[in-house]
């Protein structure tokens, strides 16, 4: 009796989860499923439509997906195993199985009859036409298929050489390629043009949005997968190494200040303006970094884009440095006069020169750091902020105290 009740309870739970997964937003469903056992999640996924099941699998925690066992002969399992061969930022990771695939000789009536059966389980947007090597040669829109003569071969009504994405295309590159091509579904092929699957348009835009929202977190050492309900131990494991690294880089700025200890001891008021210089340089660099990361995400760095970005950010740094430097110099002059110093003009000049120099260098660094990290294969959005902060702190403090040593003392 108790065993029957337990089985009934499990079945009730699974049915409720299936209902929730089909009626709620995918991320809401993922949040609920993340608290269930791997066996329960497996059963739920196998009762869902393949496209929805694959979508949920993409967003479930890795420790849960690793424990999920789905029959590889099943359409969900086969597609999931194929998708897992691709990195998380590539199109192949998110594609679904193409079900309406035909040869050019297939007639419209034959395709319609086949699609009628397929649509009982899946939504069909386009029919794909392939050759004998399974290379994509055409695409058929449902409206054209319905209006065609029943005996018309698909080769006569298809769109030749349709646009497609490749399995190894990154999400950011795919967004750049589709920015003027807003289609509900995109065919996905390999580098040889062989049809591998299809990608829902909304999935591409969702993943791109997810990338953008995660970008600000990665800049300060927060993993892309971390969210509000991530266990604190997992958050600590991912965040702490970056804080240790940031501490080491902060020691560089402390070393610079220590190197000019004698200068500071003779002109104590310099210490008041140290955070002013570091803060302004950091803000200038952050603005440049934000634009550069956005350009990398949208694929704007082509041909002479790097040179143009360096020139623009350098010019902006110079212009902003002059304008902010005048204000900061005036503030230093006023502070020096109030403090009874006779070197007010010289100190104001030091602040102005340091502000201009640090803003120019920070603006240029904001471009070079992410481009350099991308060049060596690192994620620009993950470590750029930490390197940028270290460089701007060292440069701004070094220029400020160095000019003070040379000009005032």
pLDDT tens digit string along 110-134?
999 999 998 887 789 999 999 999 9
Q: Is 212 within a domain?
A: no
Q: Residues 242, 367: one domain? A: yes
Q: Residues 372, 236: one domain? A: yes
Q: Residues 279, 378: one domain? A: yes
Q: Is 380 within a domain?
A: yes
Q: What is the model's pTM?
A: 0.61
Q: Is 214 within a domain?
A: no
**What CATH number has the domain bearing residue 196?**
3.10.580.10
Q: How confident is the model at residue 11 (pLDDT cuts 50, 70, 90)?
A: confident
**Is 60 exceeded by the pLDDT of residue 409?**
yes
Q: Residues 44, 105: one domain? A: no
Q: Residues 181, 250: one domain? A: no
Q: How confident is the model at residue 398 (pLDDT cuts 50, 70, 90)?
A: very high
Q: Is 208 within a domain?
A: no
**Model pLDDT for residues 197-251, shown as the tens digit of each residue:** 999 888 888 777 766 666 666 666 566 556 666 677 777 877 788 788 878 888 8
Q: Note the pLDDT of residue 156.
A: 96
Q: Is 14 within a domain?
A: yes
Number of structural domains (the chain) is: 3
Secondary structure of the chain as H, E, C letters? CHHHHHHHHHHHHHHHHHHHHHHCCHHHHHHHHCCCCHHHHHHHHHCCCHHHHHHHHHHCCHHHHCCCCCCCCCHHHHHHHHHCCCCCCEHHHCCECCCCEEECCCEHHHHHHHHHHHCCCCCCCEEEEECCCCEEEEEEEHHHHHHCCCCCEHHHHCEECCCCEECCCEHHHHHHHHCCCCCCEEEEECCCCEEEEEEEHHHHHHHHHHHHHHHHHHCCCCCCCCCCCCCHHHHHHHHHHHHHHHHHHHHHHHHHHHHCHHHHHHCCCHHHHHHHHHHHHHHHHHHHHHHHHHHHHCCCCCCCHHHHHHHHHHHHHHHHHHHHHHHHHHHHHHHHHHCCCCCHHHHHHHHHHHHHHHHHHHHHHHHHHHHHHHHCCCCHHHHHHHHHHHHHHHHHHHHHHHHHHHHCC
Q: How confident is the model at residue 384 (pLDDT cuts 50, 70, 90)?
A: confident
Kindly report the average pLDDT of the chain as a whole number: 85
The stretch 301-312 carries a mean pLDDT of 88
Q: Is 93 within a domain?
A: no
**What CATH number has the domain bearing residue 353?**
1.10.357.20
Q: Residues 392, 262: one domain? A: yes
Q: Residues 398, 294: one domain? A: yes
Q: Residues 197, 242: one domain? A: no
> Range of 187's domain?
101-202
Q: Note the pLDDT of residue 250.
A: 83
Q: Note the pLDDT of residue 104.
A: 96
Q: Note the pLDDT of residue 1.
A: 39
Q: Residues 153, 181: one domain? A: yes
The stretch 259-266 carries a mean pLDDT of 84
Q: Residues 367, 328: one domain? A: yes
**What CATH number has the domain bearing residue 12?**
1.10.220
- Domain endpoint, select from 85, 118, 138: 85
Q: Is 222 within a domain?
A: no
Q: Residues 160, 118: one domain? A: yes
Q: Residues 246, 385: one domain? A: yes
């Amino acid at each position: 009796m108790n065993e029957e009740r337990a089985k009934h309870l499990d079945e009730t739970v699974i049915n409720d989860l299936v209902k929730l997964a089909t009626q709620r937003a995918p991320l809401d469903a993922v949040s609920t499923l993340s608290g269930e056992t791997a066996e329960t999640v497996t059963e739920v996924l196998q009762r869902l439509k393949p496209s929805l099941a694959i979508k949920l699998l993409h967003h479930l925690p890795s420790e849960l997906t690793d424990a999920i066992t789905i029959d590889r002969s099943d359409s969900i399992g086969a597609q999931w195993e194929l998708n897992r061969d691709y990195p998380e930022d590539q199109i192949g990771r998110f594609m679904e199985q193409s079900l309406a695939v035909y040869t050019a000789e297939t007639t419209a009536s034959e395709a319609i009859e086949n699609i009628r059966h397929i649509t009982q389980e899946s939504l069909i947007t386009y029919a794909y036409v392939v050759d004998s090597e399974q290379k994509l040669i055409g695409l058929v829109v449902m409206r054209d298929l319905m209006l065609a003569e029943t005996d018309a071969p698909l080769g006569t009504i298809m769109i030749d050489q349709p646009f497609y994405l490749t399995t190894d295309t990154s999400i950011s590159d795919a967004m750049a390629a589709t920015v003027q091509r807003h289609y509900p579904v995109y065919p996905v092929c390999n580098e040889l043009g062989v049809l591998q699957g299809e990608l829902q348009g909304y999935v591409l835009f969702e993943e791109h949005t997810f990338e953008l929202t995660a970008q600000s977190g990665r800049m300060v050492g927060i993993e892309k997968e971390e969210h509000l309900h991530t266990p604190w131990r997992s958050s600590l494991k991912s965040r702490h190494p970056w804080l240790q690294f940031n501490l080491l880089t902060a020691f560089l700025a402390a070393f610079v200040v220590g190197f000019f200890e004698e200068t500071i001891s003779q002109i104590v008021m310099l210490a008041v303006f140290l955070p002013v210089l570091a803060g302004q340089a950091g803000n200038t660099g952050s603005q440049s970094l934000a634009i550069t990361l956005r350009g990398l995400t949208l694929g704007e760095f082509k041909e002479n884009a790097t040179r143009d970005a360096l020139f623009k950010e350098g010019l902006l740094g110079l212009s902003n440095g002059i304008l902010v430097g005048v204000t900061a110099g005036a503030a230093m002059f006023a502070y020096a006069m109030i403090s009874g110093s006779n070197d007010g003009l010289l100190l104001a000049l030091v602040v102005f020169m340091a502000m201009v120099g640090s803003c120019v260098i920070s603006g240029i660094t904001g471009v070079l750091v992410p481009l350099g990290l991308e060049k060596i294969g690192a994620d620009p959005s993950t470590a750029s902020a930490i390197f940028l902060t270290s460089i701007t702190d060292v440069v701004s403090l070094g220029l400020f105290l160095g000019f003070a040593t040379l000009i005032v003392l």
